[in-house]
Amino acid sequence: MEGGLHKSLLFAPMPPSFPAEKREGRQLGGLIKPAFQHRARTQSSSFTRQDHKDDLGDLLSVRRNLAIRLFHSRQEAEQQPAVNLQIARAYLAASDPQIATRNWQFVMDEMVKLKKDETQRRWQTAIKDKAFDNMRHLPLLGTRPEHFLRVLEAGKVSTNVYLRRIHNFALDMTWLPWPVLAKKRWPAVEFKEKRGITLAEHLAIVARENNAERRTFYKLAWNLGASQSDLAFLEAENVDWDNYVISYKRMKTRTVAIMRLDEDMAEILRDLPGSGPLFPYLRTVQAGDRATEFKQRCDRLGIKDISLHSYRYAWAERAKAAGYPERYAQVNLGHKSKAMARAYSRKAEVEMPSLSEYERQQKAITQGRELNP
């Protein structure tokens, strides 16, 4: 020990303040071998020894001061944690004056501003969750893990999903210097089991629907697999009868979807207006209201555990069962990842052909290509 300090502190890694040409030397057994020692061999041995002596003296002095600062800092951290927290806040406030007053409602508002169209409306609804009332006006720096846990206990699955995004947004913006809740301590997100609408259920819903516009809307949802908002805002100009395709820009991702028409879809579209909006009433209705109207019809028929969004699950399941290429299904549904596309189709029941039958089919295809090159 030297001055109450363990020798390991004296030989800690060299700080950046130590001269660069001396930091280039190698540490061997606690001693410094300067980078310029080999060049000094041509001169007197006393010069080389003096270099060693000066280097070691400077290094020990710098390291001793660093070790003493670390020693006292650790003592202070243990003796007065509250004071040290205030000191940390003072340092942070010097670089960000608003850090002491910024609350979670501010974070939510700023996040909503970055969203657009339907996604923005979805976020506006999400941040009204009453579970967030427990933390809206809580300063970010004053937030403890137990605050988040109380919010999660009072909320739903969507609360967990959106709180994670809000928390990560605050971290990305450097409004939070450290995570409030460690990644491994977040409760798992457990979504309610979802499924697609079966053909029998779809036919029953369509047969029961007296409103022609809604009936056509459900038919097109079954065949196109688009989101309800994208369907509701379709216009006659989205249908290219010359090339026999329908195309539209997705409201959520702003990407373009293009699908060739089959006879079923063509027949449905011919019954719709030849110009302007295809669904003039449904486009004026909020997405939540369209979903409520659909649920009311399902309740009257005794159909459970489905929603208007289940038409997209149904399309994905049908595509998988029919052997539709996964990349086509992913593009049509507008999913950025294969994982999401597979989540939608995971309940599909695929009837596999026997290997012999499949071999015969492939052989017939190959022979057909040879005959018609």
Q: What's residue 33's pLDDT?
A: 44
User: Rounded to whole angstroms, how far apart are CA atoms 273 and 261?
Assistant: 17
Q: What's residue 162's pLDDT?
A: 94
- Domain that residue 222 falls in: 215-345
Q: What's residue 349's pLDDT?
A: 61
pTM: 0.57
H helix intervals, 45-155: 45-79, 81-95, 104-113, 117-126, 145-154
Q: What CATH number has the domain bearing residue 238?
A: 1.10.443.10
For the chain, 373 residues long, give each residue's pLDDT as a single digit of tens: 444 444 444 444 444 444 544 444 444 344 444 444 444 444 444 444 444 445 545 555 666 777 777 766 666 666 665 555 556 655 555 566 777 788 999 999 999 999 887 788 889 999 999 999 999 999 998 899 999 999 999 999 999 999 999 999 999 998 988 899 988 889 988 877 788 899 999 999 999 999 999 999 999 999 998 888 899 999 999 999 999 888 888 887 788 888 888 888 899 999 899 899 999 999 998 888 899 999 999 999 999 888 999 999 898 888 888 888 888 877 778 776 666 666 666 666 655 566 667 677 778 877 766 555 5
Q: Is position 298 within any domain? A: yes
User: Domain check: are 270 and 304 in the same one?
Assistant: yes
- CB-based burial of residue 331 (10 Å sphere; 0-12 exposed, 13-18 middle, 19+ buried)? middle
Q: Is position 74 within any domain? A: yes
Q: Is position 268 within any domain? A: yes
Tokens representing 322 are: 């029919």
User: Domain check: are 255 and 302 in the same one?
Assistant: yes
User: Domain check: are 261 and 328 in the same one?
Assistant: yes
User: Domain check: are 16 and 125 in the same one?
Assistant: no
DSSP-derived 3-state class of residue 39: helix
Tokens representing 50 are: 């003096």
Q: What's residue 151's pLDDT?
A: 94
User: Domain check: are 273 and 331 in the same one?
Assistant: yes
User: Rounded to whole angstroms, how far apart are CA atoms 150 and 128?
Assistant: 17
If one counts the domains in the chain, the total is: 3
Question: Last residue of a domain, which of 163, 185, 207?
Answer: 185
Closest CA to 305 of 191, 196, 200, 157: 196
Q: Is position 55 within any domain? A: yes
Q: Is position 139 within any domain? A: yes
User: Domain check: are 163 and 225 in the same one?
Assistant: no
Q: Is position 171 within any domain? A: yes
Kindly tell me the sign of the dihedral angle through the C-alpha atoms of 61, 66, 69, 74.
negative
Written as one letter, the residue type at 3 is G
User: Domain check: are 227 and 323 in the same one?
Assistant: yes
Q: What's residue 373's pLDDT?
A: 53
User: Domain check: are 322 and 260 in the same one?
Assistant: yes
Question: Last residue of a domain, which of 141, 164, 185?
Answer: 185
Q: Is position 249 within any domain? A: yes
User: Domain check: are 307 and 259 in the same one?
Assistant: yes
User: Domain check: are 243 and 309 in the same one?
Assistant: yes
User: Domain check: are 225 and 340 in the same one?
Assistant: yes
Written as one letter, the residue type at 93 is A
User: Domain check: are 222 and 304 in the same one?
Assistant: yes
Q: Is position 112 within any domain? A: yes
The CA-based angle 250-252-256, given to 5 degrees, is 25
